């Protein structure tokens, strides 16, 4: 699914942050990536969804060389890679419920309103479903319980 052969990347010219990465991430496999702060974990993930492109080596995602992808090709790749960022990213002009449904909306899939409501109940955010993200405060949402009841 994602294959890297000798991939390198650096934010600054001539200063590689990641180098000689050779790996293969198979469909359905499960991986942990650990390392100290600043080691390059987020950078590695950004390479995986072509937010950054390798400076050297070869990276193939879903059978395509990422450096040969067009803008549309990169968009198509991103539709197949779900990412939960360490800093939450919302569209501030859309209500919470629409933000949650956004990955389905942009990929043209039907939104199951029953599932959406169940998700909101699970994280105890039904009251905030119509709120805009800037209106939310960590203080008015009680901590979710696990598992949901
Ligand atoms: N956009 C950027 N421009 C320049 N340098 C960057 C940029 N993003 C990250 N870096 C640098 O690259 C290195 C790796 O950063 P990265 O965010 O990938 O680390 P991380 O392993 O995800 O860290 P953390 O555990 O703190 O999230 C750090 O030294 C960081 O300062
Ligand atoms: Mg990080």
Q: Are 57 and 6 spatial neighbours (Cβ–Cβ below 8 Å)?
A: yes
69 and 102 share a domain?
Answer: no
SS3 75: helix
Q: Are 77 and 61 spatial neighbours (Cβ–Cβ below 8 Å)?
A: yes
What's the gap in Å between 89 CA and the centre of ligand 2?
A: 14
What's the gap in Å between 38 CA and the centre of ligand 2?
A: 7
Residue 90 lies in a domain: no
8 and 66 share a domain?
Answer: yes
Smallest CA-to-CA distance from 62 within 74, 52, 51, 44 is with 74
Q: Which ligand is nearest to the CA of 35?
A: 1
Residue with tokens 């987020």: 42
10 and 75 share a domain?
Answer: yes
Which of 21, 42, 46 has the most ligand 1 atoms within 8 A of CB, as the residue to mutate? Answer: 42
Chain mean pLDDT for the chain? 90
Residue 104 lies in a domain: yes
Please tell me the predicted confidence (pLDDT) of residue 99: 95
CB under 8 A, 24+ apart: contacts of 119-127: 120/96, 121/148, 122/148, 125/96
> What confidence tier does 140 reach under pLDDT thresholds 50, 70, 90?
very low
pLDDT of residue 40 exceeding 90, the answer is: yes
Per 3-state DSSP, what percentage of the chain is helix, strand, and coil (rounded to 5)?
Answer: 35, 15, 50
How many domains does the chain divide into? 2
12 and 74 share a domain?
Answer: yes
57 and 118 share a domain?
Answer: no
Q: Are 97 and 43 spatial neighbours (Cβ–Cβ below 8 Å)?
A: no
> What confidence tier does 89 reach under pLDDT thresholds 50, 70, 90?
confident
63 and 122 share a domain?
Answer: no
Smallest CA-to-CA distance from 95 within 111, 72, 79 is with 111
Q: Which residues, listed in sequence order, are joined to residue 15 by a DSSP beta bridge?
A: 12
pLDDT of residue 79 exceeding 50, the answer is: yes
pLDDT of residue 146 exceeding 70, the answer is: no
Residue 88 lies in a domain: no
Ligand 1 binding pocket, CB closer than 6 Å: 11, 17, 35, 37-43
124 and 61 share a domain?
Answer: no
pLDDT of residue 56 exceeding 90, the answer is: yes
Q: Are 41 and 65 spatial neighbours (Cβ–Cβ below 8 Å)?
A: no
What's the gap in Å between 19 CA and the centre of ligand 2?
A: 17
pLDDT of residue 148 exceeding 70, the answer is: no
Please tell me the predicted confidence (pLDDT) of residue 137: 75
What domain range includes position 38? 2-79
Residue 147 lies in a domain: no
Please tell me the predicted confidence (pLDDT) of residue 147: 55
Atom 31 of ligand 1: nearest residue by CA position = 38
pLDDT in tens, 96-122: 999 999 989 988 899 999 999 999 999
22 and 59 share a domain?
Answer: yes
73 and 102 share a domain?
Answer: no
Q: What's the whole-model pTM score?
A: 0.77
SS3 7: strand
């Amino acid at each position: 699914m994602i294959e890297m052969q000798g991939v390198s990347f650096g934010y600054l010219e001539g200063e590689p942050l990641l180098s000689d990465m050779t790996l293969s991430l198979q469909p359905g496999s499960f991986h942990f990536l650990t390392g100290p702060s600043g080691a390059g974990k987020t950078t590695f993930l950004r390479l995986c969804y072509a937010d950054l492109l390798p400076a050297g080596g070869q990276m193939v995602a879903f059978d395509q060389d990422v450096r040969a992808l067009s803008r549309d090709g990169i968009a198509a790749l991103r539709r197949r890679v779900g990412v939960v960022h360490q800093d939450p990213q919302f569209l501030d002009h859309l209500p919470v419920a629409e933000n949650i449904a956004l990955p389905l909306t942009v990929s043209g899939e039907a939104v199951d309103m029953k599932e959406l409501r169940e998700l909101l109940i699970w994280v105890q955010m039904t009251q905030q479903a119509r709120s805009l993200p800037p209106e939310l405060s960590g203080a008015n949402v009680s901590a979710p319980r696990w598992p949901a009841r």
